[in-house]
């Protein structure tokens, strides 16, 4: 068949398929245009999940009358400035939008109306595009402020009805738009956002006066929930020209998917595998493999250090110095989490309090109590001290053959003048042991309940990690080196990280095209399926740019060894042992959660307990 040029209408619809694949994508492009125009207030209204109507109104700079017809042409934009030679620098982009495709793409598949009034203009003007057909300019009434733009998108995909068959339910499309609006709202705390669906408010936040500090925390709490703020750690680290800010959730504050990991590069929401891999690496020995942390990370760097022109949706980026960015993320997260020490999620206490319900006695029990109360009035309490003292009796001696021990001197606090001084420590003073499993401690303003096995497991695990870091991972040489056949490209990727793998105890070298020779393996792993391990490593490197599989196997072995070497549930501890465990927890990083991300203790404030009993 002969080669021929496609008509402009077909070109626009093809482009629309890349840029506008669903209503949420159209809303994203329009909101980003409003942000680039300097808007301080953005109002979004939708009907039928954005398919019947999608309206975005802002108070930004507006569009001049003579620029409206240009705005709906393909690759026309005000955000890229050509140099003296006429060249455009695509590596120096300081705006969210820059491709000049959104408005013509929307106009090609929907009924698009743009009403705008620029700053200082006396009247507003309107332009309409219907399925690619442009209507002439016309004056229009403007009910907004002194300037701004209102964009109406009606009957999305009416010009490409086949696309409607691939849309999800109206509720699903509405939720996708809401999620997108929330992500952009997190990136810009200085802008007020409202979202309405069928006239009902779905999301509303006011502009924050302090968008970089407490204002950002308040905005994140408004989007992610009030629990996020008290269960997160502030980040602010810089390496070279790259700065990382934001908040990282405590390991005990986790979710089942990565949807709660919000990542931003120069104010743009992104889904970048390098950043995702770095977050996973930072939390890798703090969470189970099927659990994911809640984070909101903001990376700011010079525009020329990041390529944002990777995909039409602009959700992927490429860093000029990827190793620096990754190292900054991992280092900042690990430093912040280590600084949190034994701190655990406040939601554990909330869950514990929520599980407690007042028990109301039936009528028969009430009558029995009334009879007992009458009898008690005749009882004379004559204890000289005015109180009753009781003892649980002597504890049996610990079984010398039982695994796990706690050194009552190791990590102990400075000598106390009396036992009551211990209540001023973060985890308080041990008062009792329940069911030979849980330690109950009294703090200055509440109580702490500790799972003795989970807590000691974390302490032993951290000690093993420190020993491994100091002495390296012991290796075992294979009597007969094993040859593993891989795809040539996969083998090349794996061999490029041979030094990193060697530090973890795995020694590999090339053995011809597409083959890798395994000479030594980590001694901790015992008998190793070399082929399976290398396949997992290749998958990790391809997906996340990091050899997680080997680290996770080593950590799993260490975790298992720590579990077997820890004090067991069912073992009675002395008061000195219990207090020593509490003091060691306070001095050990990550002791607020076990090796699988579960909390090692629950803290209940006295005020909450008093409310349970109606004392407040």
pLDDT reading at 422 higher than 60: yes
- Across 108-229, the runs of DSSP E, i.e. the strands, are 111-117, 124-130, 133-134, 138-140, 148-154, 192-197, 200-205
The residue with greater pLDDT, 489 or 357, is 489
Distance of CA 569 to the CA centre of its chain: 33
Q: Which of 318, 239, 243, 333 is nearest to 280 (CA)?
A: 333
Distances (CA, A) of 554 to 284, 524, 588: 11, 7, 21
Interstrand relation of 41-47 and 192-197 (parallel, antiparallel or unpaired): parallel
Q: Which of 432, 446, 442 is nearest to 608 (CA)?
A: 446
Structure tokens given for 554: 């080593």
**The domain 8-81+93-205: what is its CATH number?**
3.30.565.10
With b for 16 or more beta-carbon neighbours within 10 A and e for fewer, the 590-610 pattern comes to bbbbbbbbbbbbbbbeeebee
pLDDT on residue 347: 63
Q: Which of 342, 474, 463 is nearest to 404 (CA)?
A: 463
Q: Which of 509, 506, 538 is nearest to 520 (CA)?
A: 506
pLDDT on residue 410: 41
Beta bridge partners of 318: 307
pLDDT on residue 82: 54
Q: Cα(134)–Cα(72) distance, rounded to whole angstroms?
A: 9
Beta bridge partners of 300: 243
pTM: 0.68
pLDDT on residue 475: 84
CATH class of domain segment(s) 225-339: alpha beta
Distance of CA 445 to the CA centre of its chain: 31
In sign, the C-alpha dihedral spanning 87, 90, 95, 96 is positive
Reported as a single tens digit per residue, the pLDDT across 89-143 is 666 666 776 667 788 889 988 999 999 999 888 899 999 999 889 999 999 988 7
Which stretch of DSSP H or E encloses residue 351? helix 347-355
pLDDT on residue 393: 33
Q: 341-356+395-616 belongs to which homologous superfamily? A: MutL, C-terminal domain, dimerisation subdomain (3.30.1540.20)
The residue with greater pLDDT, 31 or 564, is 31
Reported as a single tens digit per residue, the pLDDT across 288-319 is 777 889 999 999 999 888 887 776 667 788 89
pLDDT reading at 430 higher than 80: yes
Structure tokens given for 76: 């026309």
Structure tokens given for 441: 């401690």
Angle at 515 between CA 527 and CA 519, to 5 degrees: 40
Of 141-150, 274-283, 320-329, the range with the lowest mean pLDDT is 141-150
Q: Cα(161)–Cα(155) distance, rounded to whole angstroms?
A: 10
204 C-beta neighbours (distance < 10 Å), count: 13
Residue 384 pLDDT level (bands cut at 50, 70, 90): very low
DSSP state of 8: H
Of 28-32, 447-451, 535-539, 571-575, the range with the lowest mean pLDDT is 535-539
DSSP state of 415: P
Of 149-163, 319-333, 515-529, the range with the lowest mean pLDDT is 515-529
The residue with greater pLDDT, 494 or 385, is 494
pLDDT on residue 543: 64
DSSP for 317-346 reads -EETTHHHHHHHHHHHHHHHHHHHTT---T
Q: How many CA atoms lie within 13 A of 513 on its CB side?
A: 0
Residue 286 pLDDT level (bands cut at 50, 70, 90): confident
pLDDT reading at 408 higher than 60: no
8 A C-beta contact, residue 476 and residue 521 = yes
8 A C-beta contact, residue 238 and residue 324 = no
pLDDT on residue 365: 44
Distances (CA, A) of 138 to 123, 444, 549: 11, 72, 62
Residue 247 CB burial class (10 angstroms; 0-12, 13-18, ≥19): buried
> What percent of the chain stands above pLDDT 70?
76
The residue with greater pLDDT, 85 or 272, is 272
pLDDT on residue 578: 92
Q: Cα(70)–Cα(58) distance, rounded to whole angstroms?
A: 20
The residue with greater pLDDT, 457 or 245, is 245
Residue 440 pLDDT level (bands cut at 50, 70, 90): very high
The residue with greater pLDDT, 29 or 377, is 29
Residue 354 pLDDT level (bands cut at 50, 70, 90): low
Task: Map out the domains of the chain as residue ranges.
Answer: 8-81+93-205, 225-339, 341-356+395-616
Tell me phi and psi for residue 245, to 5 degrees: -130, 175
Q: Cα(544)–Cα(278) distance, rounded to whole angstroms?
A: 8
* pLDDT, the chain, mean: 80
pLDDT on residue 352: 60
**What does the longest C-alpha to C-alpha distance in the chain come to?**
111
Instruction: Extract long-range pairs of 122-126: CB within 8 Å, 24+ residues apart.
Output: 125/65, 125/68
Reported as a single tens digit per residue, the pLDDT across 164-179 is 888 999 999 999 999 9
Beta bridge partners of 522: 475
pLDDT reading at 67 higher than 70: yes
pLDDT on residue 56: 96
Residue 376 pLDDT level (bands cut at 50, 70, 90): very low
Of 36-40, 270-274, 469-473, 601-605, the range with the lowest mean pLDDT is 469-473
Angle at 437 between CA 436 and CA 439, to 5 degrees: 95
pLDDT on residue 246: 93
Rg of the chain over Cα atoms, rounded to whole angstroms, equals 31
Residue 326: partners with Cβ closer than 8 Å, 6 or more residues away: 274, 277, 278, 545
pLDDT reading at 368 higher than 80: no
Reported as a single tens digit per residue, the pLDDT across 502-543 is 877 889 999 888 899 999 988 866 777 888 888 878 877 776
């Amino acid at each position: 068949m002969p080669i021929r040029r496609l008509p402009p209408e077909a070109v626009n619809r093809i482009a629309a398929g890349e840029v506008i694949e669903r209503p949420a994508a159209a809303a994203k492009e329009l909101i980003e245009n409003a942000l680039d125009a300097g808007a301080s207030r953005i109002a979004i209204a939708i009907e039928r999940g954005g398919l019947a109507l999608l309206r975005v109104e802002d108070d930004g700079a507006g569009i001049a009358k003579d620029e409206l017809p240009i705005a709906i042409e393909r690759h026309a934009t005000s955000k890229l400035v050509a140099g003296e030679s006429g060249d455009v620098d695509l590596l120096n982009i300081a705006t969210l939008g820059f491709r000049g495709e959104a408005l013509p793409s929307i106009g090609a598949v929907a009924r698009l109306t743009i009403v705008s009034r620029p700053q200082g203009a006396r009247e507003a003007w309107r332009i309409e595009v219907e399925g690619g057909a442009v209507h002439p300019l016309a004056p229009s009434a403007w009910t907004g402020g002194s300037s701004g733009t209102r964009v109406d998108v009606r009957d999305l995909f009416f010009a490409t009805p086949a696309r409607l068959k691939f849309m999800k339910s109206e509720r699903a499309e509405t939720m996708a738009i809401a999620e997108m609006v929330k992500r952009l709202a997190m990136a810009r705390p200085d802008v007020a956002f409202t979202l309405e669906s069928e006239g009902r408010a779905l999301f509303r936040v006011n502009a924050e006066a302090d968008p970089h500090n407490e204002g950002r925390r308040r905005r994140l709490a408004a989007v992610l929930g009030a629990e996020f703020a008290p269960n997160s750690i502030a980040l602010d680290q810089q390496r070279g020209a790259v700065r990382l800010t934001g908040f990282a959730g405590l390991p005990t504050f986790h979710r089942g998917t990565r949807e709660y990991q919000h990542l931003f590069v120069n104010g743009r929401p992104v889904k970048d595998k390098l950043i995702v891999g770095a977050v996973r690496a930072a939390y890798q020995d703090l969470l189970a493999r099927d659990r994911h942390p809640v984070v909101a990370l903001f990376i700011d760097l010079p525009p020329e250090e990041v390529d944002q022109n990777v995909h039409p949706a602009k959700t992927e980026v490429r860093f000029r110095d990827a190793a620096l960015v990754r190292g900054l993320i991992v280092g900042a997260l690990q430093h912040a989490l280590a600084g949190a020490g034994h701190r655990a999620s406040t939601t554990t206490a909330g869950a514990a309090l929520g599980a407690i319900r007042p028990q109301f006695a039936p009528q028969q029990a009430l009558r029995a109590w009334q009879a007992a109360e009458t009898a008690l009035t005749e009882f004379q309490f004559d204890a000289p001290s005015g109180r009753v003292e009781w003892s649980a009796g002597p504890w049996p001696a610990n079984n010398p053959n039982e695994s796990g021990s706690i050194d009552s001197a190791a990590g102990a606090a400075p000598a106390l003048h009396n036992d009551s001084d211990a209540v001023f420590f973060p985890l308080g003073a041990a008062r009792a042991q329940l069911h030979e499993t849980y330690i109950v401690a009294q703090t200055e303003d509440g109580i702490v309940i500790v799972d003795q096995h989970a807590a000691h497991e974390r302490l032993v695990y951290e000690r093993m990690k420190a020993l491994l870091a100091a002495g390296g991972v012991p290796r075992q040489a294979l009597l007969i080196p094993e040859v593993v056949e891989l795809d040539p490209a996969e083998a090349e990727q794996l061999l490029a990280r041979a030094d990193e793998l060697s530090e973890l105890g795995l020694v590999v070298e090339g053995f011809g095209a597409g083959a890798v020779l395994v000479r030594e393996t980590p001694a901790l792993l015992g008998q190793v399926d070399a082929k399976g391990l290398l396949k997992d490593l290749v998958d990790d490197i391809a997906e996340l740019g990091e050899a997680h599989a080997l680290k996770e196997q080593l950590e799993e072995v260490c975790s298992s060894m720590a579990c077997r070497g820890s004090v067991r549930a069912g073992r009675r501890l002395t008061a000195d042992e219990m207090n020593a465990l509490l003091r060691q927890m306070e001095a050990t990083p990550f002791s607020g959660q076990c090796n699988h991300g579960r909390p090692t203790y629950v803290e209940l404030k006295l005020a909450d307990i008093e409310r349970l009993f109606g004392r407040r």
